[in-house]
Every structure is written in structure tokens, then in C-alpha cells.
Amino acid sequence: MNNLLIYIHWPFCQSKCPYCDFNSHVSDNINHDAWAKSYLIELEHFAELTKGRPVTSVFFGGGTPSLMKTDTVGKILNHISKLWPIERNCEITLEANPTSIEAGKFKDFKKAGINRVSVGVQALNDKDLKFFGRTHSANEALAAVEVARNTFDRYSFDMMYARPGQSAKEWEEELSRALKYMDGHSSLYQLTIEPQTPFYTRAKRGEFRMPEENLSAELYEVTESIMSGSGLEAYEISNYAKRGEESRHNMGYWRYQDYLGIGPGAHGRVSINGIKHATRMHRAPDIWLERVGEKGHGLQADDILSSEEQHQEKIMMGLRLREGVDTALFDEGKLETLIAEGDLIMGEDKIFASLQGRLRLNSVLNYLLN
């Protein structure tokens, strides 16, 4: 029977970071009991459609899910265990900001059922943290990482680089320092400027300049070299891990396994009676709550994906992974062109992106899929 991943979206943050285009909201008035009840109701709706399927991963994302009450997390996980069979080694991750208040809740989150945290350190200098709009200091972040290390068997140390004014030497020194606090996993994302964010407006005004393409490529190569030299290999474009420590949720997502998206704005891909559905919940927290109360779910869209759409999504997802994608999915002519140009590499039965191909993956995908 097909395994199932579950993503839980908590839409609230203490403050909105200027680079963030995720579905996150700042609110001083959160009815935690109402939210807990609504999550349970929406889980029940999808449990009826996916009966008996083993759950291999639960991921709490946001927003800032470490701001949730620990008993809300416990209620959700307890309900999931009643609705579906849970794999013995099920990975249960919670994204966390490294403030002292949230780190102080780690032990209670563990008691609630969390067995892995993803700690959003983002930078190891206070100047860049302030630029990012973060509410923690570098020292506070490292202290939170130590709490995570002493509380959970598995955690991820997450950062952003390719920042305005950042040189390759500066990033090399910062990443080398960060390695001392990493264990089995790290997510390292290049900063991108998304439309409809404060950073987008500020960049348009010329308040700061993002690194040129050549520098961004150099920063990525520095990252690859340092991480592989430390034993944390890139299993996906922005994710690095020791062998066996890869995020099971990430791997399932990029391998195009079925996942439920629960909560405001959450997306899902789930097979029901052999038909692949693309689901999307309403983004607005209040409207999502209202719809769950009225209908038992907050669905805004539930589209059936054609074979061609699934085919394209498998390629889009799979080429981000170091393990690659089945050769049979590709157009032979376009494949030969990209292999000749050095963007893709052919293995025995898989196609995967070279370092050059990963650096320009959007262009590679645009050529393959259009």
C-alpha cells in the first residue's frame, strides 16, 4: 500500500520577515483550542479518503510552528495515530525559530511526539540577522542548536546565503564556523527576492543589490565543496546530509510520493481511487477555519492531474535530487542536447543534473518541459 506524508501548516509568526512570501500572518489573538479542533476535523476528512495507508512522515511547517502550544501538537499527532497506521520509524519534524523562548519548549515538543526539529538559524552574524528581520541573535541561535542537539536524536541546521554584499570568502568562513554545530543535516538556501515582499520593493528602490549570477554560482560551489568535505553530501539542491540522515519528508516530496497538505494555504498531492489530486487549502486563516467548521475541510481547489501533468511534475521534482529521475520520463532529443551541453548526466537507468545543471536548473526544466 502506498505510503503517505502529512504536512501541517501553522500560519502564524511573531513577525513577518521581509524576504518571506510564505502564507504567514502576525496575530495577537489566536484561539488555540479552535485551531486544534479544526486541524483534527480536516485530518478526519482526508483519513476517510486514504484509509489504511501507512504514514511515514509528519512535518509541521509555517509560519512558525514552534509558536504552537505543545498540547496542540500532541493532539494532532495523537489523532493522526488513530486515523492511520504509523510506520515504526516515522519522522516527525517541527520547524523552529531559535529564540530562547521557543528553544525552551523543545523538551515538551519531544514529549508531544516530535522527534526532529529544523532550526532556522539563517545567519551567524547579528548584522545579517537584523537585515533579515529575525528576532534572534547569533549567540541565541547557537544556544538553541545546542538545546536541539541535547534533546533530539536528529535536527537540521538551516541557513541562507548569497546575501547582499556577501563575498565568497565571508561565506566560506561563516559556513566553516557553522559546521561545528551541524550534525547530520543542513538546509542551505540562497536568498531569493520574491515579488510582493518588502525586500522586492527595497531592491527595486536600489536600497541593496543582490549578488551577480557569477558570484551566486561561486557561492554555491563553495557550499558544495565545504559540505561534501565535511561528509554532508548534497542529496537535493539545497539540502545536505550524512548518509542515512536525509530528511524522509523531503525525500518523499521530491520523489513525488503522496502527501496531504493540512491547514491554511497548504498544498497536497494525493491519490484517491487511483486518481492523482492536486489539493490547495484556502490561504486566509479565518476563512479556512470557517470552511472547516462548515464543510469539514478548508479546500479551495481540488484538481485532477492528467498523466502529462504528473509526468512534468515528476521531472521538476526529481531533478532536484542527486539520485535523479528515471530515464524513461524524458524526450530523447532534448535529453541528448542537455547531456551534450553538460547540464545532465546519464546513469544506468537515471538522469541527474550535473553541478552546472543544478546551477541553472530553472533553464534546464524550461527547455525540457516546453
Tens digits of residue pLDDT in 267-301: 999 999 999 999 999 999 999 999 999 999 999 99
When pLDDT is cut at 50, 70 and 90, the band that residue 103 belongs to is confident
62-95 pLDDT, tens digit per residue, is 999 999 999 999 999 999 999 999 999 999 999 9
| Mean pLDDT, the chain, whole residue set | 95
Q: Helix (H) and strand (E) counts for the chain?
A: 15, 17
- State the pLDDT at residue 1: 56
Identify which of 283, 235, 298 has the alpha carbon closest to the alpha carbon of residue 42: 298
pLDDT > 70 in the chain, percent: 100
The mean pLDDT value for 27-40 works out to 94
Neighbours of 324 (CB within 10 A): 18
For 234, residues 6+ apart whose C-beta sits below 8 A from its C-beta are 224, 227, 228, 240, 322
Q: How far apart are CA 235 and CA 244, in angstroms?
A: 11
**What is the pTM assigned to this prediction?**
0.95
154-161/55-62 β-pairing: unpaired
Asked whether residue 189 carries a pLDDT value surpassing 60, the answer given is yes
Identify which of 165, 172, 187 has the alpha carbon closest to the alpha carbon of residue 96: 187
Identify which of 246, 223, 226 has the alpha carbon closest to the alpha carbon of residue 235: 246
Q: How far apart are CA 228 and CA 107, in angstroms?
A: 32
Q: How far apart are CA 133 and CA 21, in angstroms?
A: 14
Q: Are 77 and 113 in contact (CB under 8 A)?
A: yes
Quick one: 178 exposed, middle or buried, by C-beta within 10 A (0-12, 13-18, 19+)?
buried
C-alpha torsion sign, points 92, 95, 98, 102: negative
Q: How far apart are CA 90 and CA 10, in angstroms?
A: 20
Q: DSSP per residue over 129-190, as a string?
A: HHHHT-SS-HHHHHHHHHHHHHH-SEEEEEEEE--TT--HHHHHHHHHHHGGG--SEEEEEE
C-alpha torsion sign, points 236, 239, 240, 244: negative
Secondary structure (3-state) at 15: coil
Q: Which residue has the higher pLDDT, 99 or 277?
A: 277
Q: Which three cell numbers stand for residue 265?
A: 494555504
Per the listing, cell 523562548 goes with 101
Helix axis angle, 168-178 to 213-229, nearest 10°? 30
Secondary structure (3-state) at 308: helix
- State the pLDDT at residue 353: 96
Side-chain half-sphere CA neighbours of 239 within 13 A: 21
Q: Are 156 and 119 in contact (CB under 8 A)?
A: yes
351-368 pLDDT, tens digit per residue, is 999 999 999 999 999 999
12-13/25-26 β-pairing: parallel
Secondary structure (3-state) at 218: helix
Secondary structure (3-state) at 87: strand
Q: Are 113 and 70 in contact (CB under 8 A)?
A: no
pLDDT > 90 in the chain, percent: 92
Please report the domains of the chain, with CATH numbers, ordered by start residue: 4-253 (3.20.20.70), 315-370 (no CATH)
For 37, residues 6+ apart whose C-beta sits below 8 A from its C-beta are none
Per the listing, cell 497536497 goes with 268
Identify which of 228, 258, 230, 229 has the alpha carbon closest to the alpha carbon of residue 322: 228
